[in-house]
Amino acid sequence: HAKTDGRATCRFYHPGMMEESAHRKRLEDALSVAFAQDQIICHYQPQFDARSLKMTGLEALVRWQCPQHGLIMPDHFLGIASDMGLMARLDDAVLRQVLRDTRAWASAGLDVPHVSVNISAERLTDPQLGPSLRALQIVPGTIVFELLESVFLDGADATIDKNLAMLADLGIEIEIDDFGSGHASIISLLRIAPRRLKIDRALVQPIVTSPQRRALLETIIRIGRMLHIDVVAEGVESADHVRILQDLKCDILQGYALARPVPPGQVPDLLISR
Ligand code: C2E
Ligand code: MG
Ligand code: MG
Ligand code: MG
């Protein structure tokens, strides 16, 4: 179902069950506190124009800065946050930090690129999304929302359609994230008219060794071009990936080969050197 993506879900019926449910309970308690104490933060991963390899954007990625356990990655707490009904709140906390950070960088005279923010199904279907975004006075064209393709698999939804129209109104662009990881066809995505399509790293990474995979990716990139949708490749991990994606005329690259996610304090240096 669109509301949970299977990450970090509880496994039932195994010997460690008792320990696991106790562990989970502690995590839930700690996560409730995390929101109250501003421990939900984000790091930023640069994105690059494939041709020039100049930085063109940043993706905000949530982290849990836990006083006991240090920096916790999303795969370890998004499933629980989702089960607890906290995803809309989490997405909101990240967006608020992004707006604080980008406003501070801009005031310091830096040329800030657009920032992509991941948005859960809970947040996209929230009737309060419109009023909440309006109050934030986002400058049109500065924020992109990344939506998982699975969000749209349930078919037509009146709240989603209404919120998508509202986002277009506010100048917030839509990007489909992890394209090719689920079952959405490129046709079904046309209804959303995304500005960008981000190809899942499971489709990107095999292109070095498999000509078939390369052909598949080339086809997706061509379709994107025909539809005026920018194609982003994620999980770009090697120089071979970069070279092949450039050959295939992919538009935007993101991955460890080019830059890892960094804490906000390191972003100004990246912006100065670009
Ligand atoms: P995503 O949106 O597909 O983000 C890309 C993930 O791939 C990030 O993991 C990033 O650190 C990682 N990555 C980047 N480059 C490479 C690479 O070259 N190789 C490999 N193997 N991985 C790479 P991260 O930060 O752990 O985030 C995991 C997922 O959690 C995200 O996947 C996104 O679906 C979700 N997420 C993160 N932040 C938020 C948020 O604020 N709200 C919501 N709703 N979901 C979020
Ligand atoms: Mg994303
Ligand atoms: Mg992705
Ligand atoms: Mg992903």
Nearest ligand for residue 235 CA: 1
Residue-wise pLDDT tens digits, 177-203: 999 887 777 777 777 889 999 999 999
Can you give the pTM of this predicted structure?
A: 0.92
Nearest ligand for residue 98 CA: 1
Token digits of residue 248: 């295939």
Atom of ligand 1 nearest to the CA of 148: 34
Could you give the residue ranges of the DSSP H alpha helices within 144-255? 158-170, 186-190, 201-204, 211-226, 239-247
Residue-wise pLDDT tens digits, 28-57: 899 999 998 999 999 999 999 999 999 999
If one counts every other C-beta atom within 10 angstroms of the C-beta of residue 226, the result is 8
- Chain-centroid distance of CA 107 in Å reads 26
Nearest to 178 by CA among 204, 151, 198: 198
Nearest to 237 by CA among 215, 209, 263: 209
Average pLDDT, the chain: 90
- Which residues have C-beta atoms less than 6 Å from ligand 1? 45, 61-62, 73-75, 78, 87, 90-91, 94, 118-120, 146, 177-178, 201, 234-237, 255-256, 261
Residue with tokens 């994107």: 224
Q: How far apart are CA 87 and CA 90, in angstroms?
A: 5
Residue-wise pLDDT tens digits, 79-114: 999 999 999 999 999 999 999 999 999 999 999 999
23: left (phi over 0), alpha (psi -120 to 50) or beta: alpha
Atom of ligand 1 nearest to the CA of 61: 38
Q: How far apart are CA 2 and CA 74, in angstroms?
A: 17
What's the pLDDT at 2?
37
Report the complex ipTM: 0.98
Residues in the chain: 274
Q: With contact defined as beta carbons under 8 Å apart, do 175 and 146 qualify?
A: yes
Give the angle 272-97-45 at the CA atoms, nearest 5°: 50
Residues with CB under 5 A from ligand 2 (ion): 118, 146, 177
Q: Which residue among 80, 198, 234, 236 has the greatest number of ligand 1 atoms within 8 angstroms of its CB, and so is best to mutate?
A: 234
Q: With contact defined as beta carbons under 8 Å apart, do 65 and 74 qualify?
A: no
